[in-house]
Structure 1
Amino acid sequence: MMKTLVRLVVGLLVLEAVAANPRFSRQADLDSYDDGNYDVDDVNSENQEYDYEDGPTIEDPEIEIGTLAPPDYNYPMPEASLEEQEEEEEELPIKPQLIPQGSGGSGVLMGPDTQKGMPTCLLCTCLGGSVYCDDLKLDSVPPLPKDTTHFYARYNRITKINKSDFASMNKLKRIDLTANAISSIESRAFMGLPELEELVIRENHISQMPVLPETMTLIDASHNNIESKGIPKEAFKDMTGLLYLYLTDNEIDYIPVPLPDSLRSLHLQRNNIQSMHEDTFCNLHDFNYIRNALEDIRLDGNPVNLSRTPQAYVCLPRIPVGDLI
């Protein structure tokens, strides 16, 4: 009887403690469970009524829900329509234009072929209308594109200029063959060049001046073996636009007159000129004649004595450079 009363008192105390503290209630239940006086199902049903602040002691694994990447498929491309296929067939590849052939060549993409089996513009350097073939050990003039305006072949081994070298070169304005081994120029080799203005053939072995067109403005044949008999008669008379005539370091023994009124510079240094006539530069029949353009005459290095012919310079703006004694 006493035990029963004690148990009732303890039960009331437990109920009060549970009402005040849920954790204690759970602990009391567990203690009671240890004593074997409470049913497990009753304890679980009571605990489900309380909301624990600490949450569950064992965390459940989180499951992520996503979408799987679609498999790679090689979708067939739609076939081109009949009209599109016809357009593709019509779009043919662009063919490069051939450079017009020059003298002695058949005409290829990079200019006519040379004797060495390669195009001129591959062997030389072509920039616009200018062709540069300097210092390439050439022994002849290479075939040039027809649109060449300026040709340079300095410091080579060219020995001869043939008439065919510049045939049909209607746009060629300047030829520079400085420092070759040229000893022969075929007759009228330059006469088929209607636009030729400048010819430089200095530092060669030329003994005969070539016949040149009347369009010349500059002629430089210095440092050669030219004698007076190697200059055609009245070679420069009709060159009404000639400005510069350079015949330095040759074997000329007289001034190649008549000279055009357009001439500005005449260089005859280190030749064999021994005398000069009073009408070499001036007109003895017209004392009012003034030759204003010819300001630069070089006769130094010749055996001529300029003081012996003072009347030869009265029409000039300046006295020639040379020996006055």
Structure 2
Amino acid sequence: MKFAFLFCFFLLIFQTDFGQNEEIPRKQKKMYHRRLRKNSSLNHRSKRQHGIQQTATATPMARFPIVNFDYSTEEEFESFLSLPEVEAGYNVLPGKKGHCLVKGMTMYNKAVWSPDPCTTCLCSDGRVLCDETMCQTQTCPYMVTPEGECCPVCTDTVNDNMLNGRTEFSGDSSEQREPTNVLPKQLPPPQVEMDQVFRKEALQSEEEEESKEDRKHKKETARHRNQGKPHRERGNRRERKQRPGKIRRPAYQQQRCGRGKEEDDEEEEEEAVRGDVFQMPCQLPIPALPRGRPRLPSGCSLSYRTISCIHAALTQVPPLMAPEITSLELMGNSITSIPAEAFNGLPNLERLDLSKNNISSSAIGPKAFKLLKKLVRLNIDENNLVHIPSELPPTLEELNINENNLQAIDEQTFSGLNQLVSLELEGNNLSETNVNPLAFKPLKSLSYLRLGKNKFRIIPQGLPASIEELHLENNQIEEITEICFNHTRKINVIVLRYNKIEENRIAPLAWINQENLESIDLSYNKLYRVPSYLPKSLLHLVLMGNQIELIPGYVFGHMEPGLEYLYLSFNKLTDDGVDQVSFYGAYHSLRELFLDHNGLKCIPPGIQEMKALHFLRLNNNKIRNILPEQICNAEEDDDSTLEHLHLENNYIKAREISPYAFSCIRSYSSIVLKPQNIK
């Protein structure tokens, strides 16, 4: 019975569709029956496509941000169906293969970082892999989680939070252990955290004074004495212990909390010999701490080995004696000077952030940073520097001096910094007239260089051979000569947006022979056509916001393995500027094509031949019709690779779209047709 019902239903659908398609040309009808035999589900696809307007009205509208016109503002478009996939945006310029883009920051391959104390992430060949920290079970009466840490640690300090019942107890305690996610509320004051860090040195020194041999000797002595004494005398000793008196606890006893039973018994025997010592319970606070420890200024906090004084209203670098500290954050204060002895008490400092202060070059001591033998990262953004500080430590790998008032870079500025990998000098007054061509020569390891928002009119000379990423946006560059990149054979990314470059000012041999150059951003320049003589290795080309009217034929034909991303949004392309050979050489490789916000009236030729295309933007043009074979090839049965197709804000009437215009697209939820303009 069930089989008969299904057979009748199939015949009903077949007759309905056959009646609706009697006017279809013979070629399309043949294709229709071939697809019908291959997959009966295409009957429903044809119906849903023919009635796409009705489906759209029945589906909830979804809004999602897509467009970044000027890399800062966003425009929202109406989607006729909710798209499950994450779409690509305009502000896309993939970097070197293997790098990861995390919250606007470029992470190099194999880089490791912690977005929060309980998570560790790794950049592995362009993918971000994160793992949560697993904490070991602690067996001690009291545990706290230091600020910035994930796992609780044992403590013998009883602070106010503990006395109020907010302490985390171990599994051995009769109290029920509180969940870990409330531990930040149980943190001791910053000074207690500082005390815990610097108590380690005192404990180690005390333990060294009392060796294992001394303990063994005392143990034997106690046994011999106890063997000959009557029980009454031992009882008197216990009574003496219970009498009120001055409580004094040696430093070595501070570690008793959390020890094993055997060790506690051993210490009890030792205390039997030392009658002048009372046993101090672990629950009582420790009154004294090692002398000479640093006191944190108001507004500062300590997290593991990082002292953070962000927006603490400081007017000078605080005097600190903290050999264990590796990171110091002084961002957002009113510090005006850095004397020569400012960091003498921080010999192991690795990261130093002095950004957003009022530091001037004349107020920096000539050897202020010289004693920092382990310094790796230095950030002096948004200060009043007119030149780069002298005698920087040779261990430096990252130097940021953005948004200052740098006036010049001479030949000796970077002397000795042969381990520097990343250099950022954006937002200064640098140009080819005040930057010595030999200034970058000592930087043998430099890979990442940012010189945006300066006053360069040409590409800076003397770039290191090791350079991989060069950012020169928001300058006044007008031409690219043949010698600009002669010695930069490893360069992978060049960003030149917001300059004054014309296509006839780009030398034919400027970069065509580069073997590693994969990404070029020439957005918001003065280009009237897609530049010729592009690098053979190019994968990503961003040309948004120009006045481009023409894509010359075969302009991508020489590229190997082939262009993958082409962004031509916000230009002046018309139907006459794009022809069948405009995309020759990229049909097999192009994955994303942005042609939105132009003047196109028809679907550009060659779209149906792009076998790897995943994302196509044709919105905000003047398109009126979509013919059956402009996007889908009627001769082929394979589904298209298109996952996102944007056609909104044109002049398309959805009811007039051919049933076969989108027949090769797997899911119609990837097609955006609304809203449309009415003229």
In the superposition, the TM-score normalised over structure 2's length comes to 0.30
Correspondences of 1:112-151 after superposition (within 5 Å): 119-120=295-296, 123-144=299-320, 145-151=322-328
Contact 1:188 1:210 in 2 (8 A): no
Contact in 1 for aligned 2:297/2:318 (Cα 8 Å): no
Deviation sequence 1:183-208 (CA, Å, 0-9, x none): 23121210111001110010111112
* Further displaced range: 205-214 or 194-203: 205-214
Give the superposition deviation at 1:320.
3.1
Shift in Å, 1:281: 2.6
Gaps in structure 1 of 5+ consecutive residues? 1-77, 100-106, 112-118, 283-290
Q: Secondary structure at the match of 1:163?
A: coil
Does the CA contact (< 8 Å) of 2:298 and 2:312 recur in 1? no
| Deviation of the 1:79 alpha carbon | 10
Q: 1:238 to 1:309 in 2, by over 3 A?
A: farther
Structure-2 residue corresponding to 1:156: 333
Query: Are 2:389 and 1:216 equivalent residues in the alignment?
Result: no
1:126 offset after TM fit, Å? 0.7
Letter in 1 for 2:348: K
Q: Answer whether contact 1:241 1:262 (CA < 8 A) is retained.
A: yes
AA of the residue aligned to 2:332: Y
Q: Deviations over 1:37-78 (max 9, x none)?
A: xxxxxxxxxxxxxxxxxxxxxxxxxxxxxxxxxxxxxxxxx9
Tell me which residue corresponds to 2:370: 191
The structural deviation recorded for 1:123 is 4.1
In the alignment, what sits opposite 1:274? 457
SS at match of 2:429: coil
SS in 1 for 2:495: coil
Residues 226 and 82 (structure 1), Cα distance of their counterparts in 2 relative to 1, 3 Å cut: same
Residue 258, structure 1, aligned to residue 258, structure 2? no
Inter-partner Cα distance in structure 2 for 1:299 and 1:259:
21
What is the CA distance between 1:173 and its match in structure 2?
0.5
Over 3 Å counting, the alpha-carbon distance change for 1:92 and 1:142 in structure 2 is farther
Alignment of 1:43-192 (within 5 A): 81-82=236-237, 85=240, 87=274, 89-91=276-278, 96-98=288-290, 107-108=292-293, 111=294, 119-120=295-296, 123-144=299-320, 145-183=322-360, 184-192=363-371
Q: Structure 2: how far apart are the matches of 1:153 and 1:311?
A: 39
Cross-structure match for 2:494: 320
Amino acid at match of 1:98: P
Residue 303 (structure 1) aligns with: 476
Q: Which residue of 1 aligns with 2:385?
A: 206
1:234·1:257 contact (CA, 8 Å) conserved in 2? no
Kept after mapping to 1: 8 A contact 2:458/2:480: no
- Look up the SS of the partner of 2:334 in the other structure: coil
Distance across 2 between alignment mates of 1:245 and 1:168: 27
Pair 1:306–1:178, CA change in 2 (3 A): same
- Structure 2 CA distance for aligned equivalents of residues 92 and 232 of structure 1: 67
Other-structure match for 1:36? none
Tell me the distance in 1 between the aligned counterparts of 2:298 and 2:238.
Answer: 43
CA distance in 1, matches of 2:349, 2:415: 22
Q: In the TM superposition, what are the counterparts of 1:277-296 in structure 2 within 5 Å? A: 280-281=462-463, 291=465, 293-296=466-469
Matched length = 220
Task: Tell me if structure 1 keeps the 8 A contact 2:418–2:442.
Answer: no
Cα separation, 2, equivalents of 1:143 and 1:160: 13
The SS at the match of 2:276 is: helix
| Deviation per residue, 1:4-57 (Å, 9 max, x gap) | xxxxxxxxxxxxxxxxxxxxxxxxxxxxxxxxxxxxxxxxxxxxxxxxxxxxxx
Aligned 8 A contact 2:452 2:471 in 1: yes
CA distance in 2, matches of 1:155, 1:81: 64
User: Deviation of residue 84 (structure 1)?
Assistant: 6.3
Deviation at 1:149, TM superposition (A): 0.6
Report if the CA contact (8 A) 1:168-1:193 is conserved: no
Greater strand share, structure number: 2
Identity %: 24
Distance 2:456 2:329 in 1: 32
Moved more, 182-191 or 83-92: 83-92
5 Å matches for 1:4-23? Answer: none
Alpha-carbon offset, residue 96 of structure 1: 4.0
The CA deviation at 1:232 is: 5.3
Asked whether the 8 Å contact 1:150–1:173 carries over to 2, the reply is yes
The answer to which of 250-259 and 81-90 deviates more is 81-90
Instruction: Give the CA deviation at 1:168.
Output: 4.3
1:88 deviation in Å? 5.1
Deviations 1:78-113 (A, max 9, x none): 9951476374522376664437xxxxxxx34xx2xx
- Structure 2 unaligned blocks of 5 or more: 1-232, 242-273, 281-285, 503-679
TM-superposition CA deviations, 1:213-235 (whole Å, max 9, x none): 1110000000001111xx45333
How far residue 271 of structure 1 moved from its aligned partner, in angstroms, is 1.1
TM-score (norm 1): 0.60
Q: Is residue 335–residue 359 contact of structure 2 (8 Å, CA) maintained in 1?
A: yes
Structure 1 counterpart of 2:425, from 229, 236, 247:
247
